[in-house]
Amino acid sequence: MSSTTTKAIVLKAAPYSESAVLLTVFSEEWGISRGMVKAAKKKMNALQQGNVVNLTRYRRLETQLGTFSVDLEHPVAAQCMMSEERLSTVSAVCDLLLKSFESDDAHKPFYGYTEIFLKEVCTMPEGALLPKFGLFEFKLLLELGYGLSLKPQQAVVESEGEQLAYVSPRSGRAVGEVAGAPYKDKLLILPKVFGGKSEDIQDVFTLTGHFLERALHGKKSDARRHLIALAQTKS
């Protein structure tokens, strides 16, 4: 029986038997991976969504499901427990990861970025959470091959130094305020967090959501939808 150890983020834990769960993780070495955790009741604190864990996988054959041994490294879920906005952000991140990547397809740099982001979710001011989540979605799009061209030197403008205000829904290129004015009803708004003027967080979600729908081939995230609805109640 072979074994491999890596760091991982808990995405989902589902009942497998009376004493075991089927655990889905996003790991540094394997990307999305699934395995059985035995005697799971003793490990439930570690198996909460969003937690960072040290994970060892045991299996006889590459094609087998295998079993996981799990040790908690960072209790993201517990640290976010008292804030609905923090928990909803963690849930949205985990759900998007599940919908974005194939099994056993490693994304090491993006794993490192995601782990750091989830730890920051526990401590950053709540006012910074949603813009930072928008940046996470931007990075996810880049990882999926849908990088947006939002830098001034990549933009469609009438003159140098023109304020960027829009994004083309087709190409993902930023468009200047003057250049885009005649077509603004057909363009997406560029939020301030990405170099535009709008401070409305819903414009962030509209922009990233438009391109995520393409990247995820129409798959919807209920957790993301819940986070957006929560943001609407606070705006």
Q: Starting at the earlier edge strand, list the strands of the sheet with 188-189.
A: 174-176, 164-167, 188-189
Q: What share of the chain is helix, strand, coil (3-state, %, to 5)?
A: 45, 25, 30
Output the six-digit token pair for 40: 């799971």
Give residue-wise pLDDT tens across range 124-144: 998 999 999 999 999 999 999
| Contact assessment for residue 96 and residue 110, using Cβ atoms and an 8 Å cutoff | no
Give me the residue spans of the domains in the chain. Answer: 2-123, 146-235
pLDDT in tens, 179-194: 999 999 999 999 999 9
| Model pLDDT for residues 43-85, shown as the tens digit of each residue | 999 999 999 999 999 977 666 788 999 999 999 999 999 999 9
pLDDT at residue 40 in the model: 86
Mind listing the pLDDT tens digit for each residue in 82-118? 999 999 999 999 999 999 999 989 999 999 999 999 9
Is residue 59 classed as helix, strand or coil in its secondary structure?
A: strand
Does the structural domain 2-123 have CATH classification 2.40.50.140?
Answer: yes
* More confidently predicted of 233 and 187: 187
Average pLDDT, the chain: 94
